[in-house]
A and B are shown apart, each in its own frame.
Chain A
């Protein structure tokens, strides 16, 4: 991918980060290194400096919550899970994403003389 195109697509990926993080948390309860690892080889690779503030925002919005779990090697860890409204939002986002995808795909084919 050329860097110029990549630069144009950057805001898109940034905007979607919240969505993909919610989707990861939806799978099963995870802690931050799990999320980082899951995203590392994708277009959404991110860092703790971005993820912690994002998760705290999602928590404030009531979409995720966390519980402390003991770890074998060090202090207790925060494990994140979706709340009810988080689950509803992931569902809504999924629907919206499909619709968006259809719209984008259709635009190239439909004649515009209507």
Chain B
């Protein structure tokens, strides 16, 4: 059973299952980050919200009213990642001096380092590290817990840094529902990233 979250998309209410909500948050946060320097950011995001709402509603089975990943993922795939025409001309130069969390996130994603929310305990850092190292997640957790005792708390800071920097792997259709804490972490971090991107 999944919790249902009601959100306002372009000022109309829509109900989404918890993991679809997390996926939507992530897409919108990434879009907001891409458009960080765009003067029409708010308007474009509202347009996109409306497009997502239309696409999802169109895909709903008759008699259903809650949007799940089954509707959301093909909808987002059809809408596509946001590209900022203003930024494309601006970034053609060599102004890659200040790395934002999002740029670092892309580098980490390129290196195969992603957080995996499904089956995670906290945010999915150990889960993701285990996958990229090709080892069992229990092993990375044991190492993390050992480090926690050895370093006397520094490990917590390291975890938080990784949690902020490592991008989230996309949620799987029909994957297991997220535990409360990983879902909360994912939501918190994506919205935090969007805020940081909006500042920079």
Contact = CB atoms under 8 A, between A and B. Distances in A.
B47 A49 contact: no
Interface stretch (B35-43, B61-69, B112-120, B162-170): B35-43
Contacts of B85: 18, 53-54, 57
Contacts, number: 55
For chain B, what secondary structure do more than half of its interface residues adopt (helix, strand, loop), or is it mixed?
helix
Contacts of A32: 47, 51
A20 to B, nearest CB: 14
A56 B44 CA distance: 7
Interface residues of A, number: 17
Interface residues of B, number: 24
Given A56-B38, A56-B47, 10 more contacts: A32-B47, A32-B51, A47-B78, A50-B80, A50-B83, A53-B38, A53-B44, A53-B83, A75-B12, A78-B47
18 contacts: A18-B85, A32-B51, A48-B79, A48-B80, A49-B31, A49-B79, A49-B81, A53-B38, A53-B84, A53-B85, A53-B86, A56-B38, A57-B40, A57-B85, A57-B86, A60-B39, A75-B10, A75-B50
